[in-house]
A and B are shown apart, each in its own frame.
Chain A
């Protein structure tokens, strides 16, 4: 499986060149173009209940398409929204994703919905996360550019800027400073990560765009 990512970071698109027998699993609706010699299978993500949970709770489509090359083919995959695409590699391990961050992966990687715990109830970005696990390539998407941060001690992240993190990191949802800062600083709630691992963040928040546009709409 070969690929390039063009038009980074605003309108990133993944351009695969698949060899015969290669498979890519992708979020429904993300195919931009492909050669004809591709077999397409549409299936519930990882079993019906898990797919349903992902649709209702995880913010992704219930369905995933699997593209399998019957000969050498081109396949273009892009997220729906403006933003970046980042490649990650999993080696019999898992990664926690913000809902909506999953774009596509090797067919061997499974995607499940993960309850973020009561602590996440107060965060405005929602309670549910996705868990990707297995071995192979995983491609995540964002609104804004994706920035990778190695956390060694503690790091505080605005909840809306989360894209993905390694499960070796623990987190708590917390106020930003005192109550005055939480309510007035415009930062709302933040996630305090601790431990050692990698964290991927996005440089913009979709909710921020919507709030900004809402300010201009007639009442």
Chain B
């Protein structure tokens, strides 16, 4: 499998080249186009029980359905793109686990296991529906964002505005805390932030969807009843 990402960072699209017999799993609706010899199989987001997929769909903000594309009778390509204008980054997993912000999953090697990590009150208080998909195994993973994606190496404590988190390695722990002192918390415009601890990588996006939403709410007329 070989992956090319073009049109970064605003309108990124991933072209996945599959050899005969190889597959890629993507969120539903992400396909732009594909070769004729590539089959599509639509299935529940997660192997295992119905409840597991339902949990991902309800809590993880991901589609209940996923598509697996497989090359038959020779090689072929699938082109994939997320819904929002933004970036795509390829992360190569090698027998490890990363957490991806609920809407940040675009595609992965089918060998990578997916589960929803329930964030409990941490996610609840963040106001940014902070649910993460837990992806573990080996192979390529494609994450997508609103805005451009930068990878930050953390060694110690690192603070990220909750709306800007795309993904992080499970070698890091995090807690949701207020930003600075009480005055900064109320007036500093950041509200709650994630405080990562340990050693590992965090992927951040340069814009955040709640900010875009707030701007539209300010400028568009109210929705009619």
Measured CB to CB, the residues of A under 8 A from B are 6-7, 10-13, 15, 27-36, 40-42, 61-63, 65, 74, 76, 78, 80-82, 206, 210, 213-214, 217-218
Contacts and interface: CB of A to CB of B under 8 A. Distances in A.
B206 A33 contact: no
Interface string B71-98: 0000000000000011100000000000
Interface string B186-212: 011110000100000010101110011
Tell me whether chain B's interface is mostly helix, strand or loop, or mixed: mixed
A36 B156 contact: yes
The 4 A-B pairs of least Cβ separation, nearest first, read A29-B189, A7-B148, A28-B189, A13-B206
Contacts of A29: 188-190, 211
A7 B147 contact: yes
Contact of B206 (A12, A41, A65): A12
Contacts of B161: 31-33
B157 A30 contact: no
Nearest to B152: A33
Nearest to A13: B206
Given A76-B206, A80-B208, 7 more contacts: A11-B87, A13-B147, A36-B157, A42-B180, A78-B206, A82-B147, A82-B207
Interface of B: 9-10, 85-87, 147-148, 150, 152, 156-161, 164, 179-181, 183-184, 187-190, 195, 202, 204, 206-208, 211-212, 214-216, 219-221, 224
Which residue among B85, B147, B160, B204 has the maximum number of chain A CB atoms within 10 Å of its CB?
B147
Contact of A32 (B160, B179, B216, B221): B160
Nearest to B184: A42
Given A35-B157, A78-B206, A63 B147 contact: no
Contact of B179 (A27, A40, A82, A210): A40
A68 B156 CA distance: 18
Nearest to B183: A42
A214 B184 contact: no
A7 B149 CA distance: 8
A206 B204 CA distance: 25
A15 to B, nearest CB: 7
A66 to B, nearest CB: 10
Contacts of B190: 28-29, 31, 65
Contact of A80 (B156, B184, B204, B215): B215
B220 A217 contact: yes
A6 B179 contact: no
A6 B206 contact: yes
Contact of B164 (A33, A41, A62): A33
Contacts of B212: 80-82
A130 B159 CA distance: 31
B159 A35 contact: yes
B206 A213 contact: no
22 contacts: A7-B147, A11-B147, A11-B206, A12-B206, A13-B147, A27-B189, A28-B189, A29-B189, A32-B160, A33-B152, A33-B159, A35-B159, A36-B156, A36-B158, A42-B183, A65-B180, A76-B204, A76-B206, A78-B206, A80-B208, A80-B214, A217-B220
Contacts of B181: 40, 42
B148 A11 contact: yes
A36 B87 CA distance: 27
Contacts of A12: 206
Contacts of A80: 207-208, 211-212, 214-215
Contacts of B184: 40-42, 65
A207 to B, nearest CB: 9
Contacts of A7: 9, 87, 147-148, 150, 206
B128 to A, nearest CB: 13
